Amino acid sequence: MRLRKAISFCAVLSCASISRGQGPAPETAPPLFPGGALVSYNSVFTTRGLMPGISGIPLTARPTFSHAADVNFTWGFYRDFDLTVLIPIVTNHLDTAGIPAIRRTGLGDAMMLVKYRFYRRDSRRGTTQASLTLGPKLPTGRTTLSDSNGNLLPGSLQPGSGSTDLFLAANWSYTGLFNLKRLVADEDFHSLLRSHGTQATRLGSDIESRFWLSYRPYESKNVAREWFIGPVLTWLRSEDDRIAGVTKSGSGGDVLLAGVTSYVGVRPGMHVWLGVDWDVAHSTSALFMPVRRNISFGITQQFRLHL
């Protein structure tokens, strides 16, 4: 069995936004093998467009630039099952007219996720797999950061949300597309269903669909080193925020991103990845701040965990 099939692992999202780019695996559907584990670090840099014609800090403002540093531990505790714990550190920047630039860093909301692979079929073409992931996002992040004048920042600019939310995902991987063994189609569809959090704010629930068509131009004979690269198409949807029970119409919207991702196995058990996505279309409204660019890179180390 090929190494990436025997030691494949799940991708997880970052905290402040579910837009995350490439995760720690070229295929998102397979779980870890029983007794396998990994530790990974993922940096996600997100740039957003400004609200047109608005100065100051609106209550629905998102960071114009953010960096999420995610530390991920995943353990294959049973056949077809994974347990993932994700802890992010979030840095948010806001540059807008009429106020000094804001840059704040704090602990983000942690996540605990369980993945179950419910379908696998092997054939001469390759392998088809499908899985479901479910788990809470916990209110562990900081929600008390202030601006330079000591005024509390809106909930949408805090590293944490103050809410307990639900993460749901469905993943599908199809190797051997068009009967080419080195061509892989991978779909990651997930949603973050949000509840009321800090400052009586309910951030809009998020949906993301990410499709990656990857080709493997290089693979060593012992499968210790391999290289995947290919185009990515991502759709992001954010619902409107609610503040003190009032819906802020137009604060949510849709974004279509296109980019490319490269994933490399540099030695047995160690992998690195880099992904870049650009905005190609988005909703327009006075309160919506669309993602304009998303850059993700990271490194992971796999090992056996005997319990």
Domain count, the chain: 1
Segments of the chain with pLDDT less than 50: 1-17
Identify whether the C-beta of residue 306 lies closer than 8 Å to the C-beta of residue 35.
yes
State the pLDDT at residue 264: 93
Identify whether the C-beta of residue 121 lies closer than 8 Å to the C-beta of residue 127.
yes
State the pLDDT at residue 16: 37
* Global pTM value: 0.90
**Structure confidence by residue, pLDDT tens digits, 186-244:** 999 999 999 999 999 999 999 999 999 999 999 887 777 899 999 999 999 999 999 99
State the pLDDT at residue 15: 36
State the pLDDT at residue 278: 97
**Structure confidence by residue, pLDDT tens digits, 237-247:** 999 999 999 99
Nearest by Cα to 14 from 48, 42, 49:
42
CATH code of 264's domain: 2.40.128.130
Identify whether the C-beta of residue 69 lies closer than 8 Å to the C-beta of residue 60.
no
Alpha helix (H) residue ranges in 44-111: none
Structural domain that includes position 286? 3-304
